[in-house]
Amino acid sequence: MLSSKTFIEKLHGHGFDFFTGVPCSLLSGLISSLEESSGYLPSVREDAAVGLCAGAFMAGKQPVLLMQNSGLGYSLNAFTSLNLIYGLPVLVIMSWRGCGGNDAPEHIIMGAVNEKLLATAGMDHDVLTRDNVDALLVQAVDQIKNKKLPYTLLVKKGLFDERH
């Protein structure tokens, strides 16, 4: 397990300073810790969170967007017709419900296709683990500073502490 507090400290260390999203139980510990330590703005929909991060980025922030993979459906047009054409980066922390086909029915289809959807849209992503966190955050900063594109870290159940 990766402690939420440690991960947030690493995010701060890499300059991330704007946090928003729509919750998922897999990210509940992370969001609670952000509320306590950094400020976290609840968004009402994932596409609105994409817009919020895009505006914050252009005005000087380094944003992080937390969402469940179900939100990828809501936000795909925002990514493709905003971030990907203007070159507006954001670090997306996306929980992977339905991973391996073992979850509630509403998560099975998106869980089976979220990686393919991201790849088809040309959005780079990796699966976050306790062992690769430092390397992937370096990669995230590279994507943001140099490629100016969104970068998604997929989070499987059990990686972060949960609080619900």
Does position 58 bind other proteins by CB under 8 A? yes
State the residue for tokens 């419900």: 97
Could you say which of 44, 104, 105, 146 contacts other proteins (CB under 8 A)? Answer: 44
CA-based max dimension of the chain? 41
CA-nearest of 120, 137, 6, 45 to 53 is 45
The nearer residue to other proteins, 17 or 162, going by C-beta atoms, is 17
Residues 103-162 close enough to bind other proteins by CB under 8 A? none
Tell how strand 125-127 and strand 63-68 pair up: unpaired
Min dist. Cβ of residue 75 to other proteins (A): 10
Residues that bind other proteins (CB under 8 A): 18, 41-45, 47-61, 63, 77-78, 80-82, 85-88
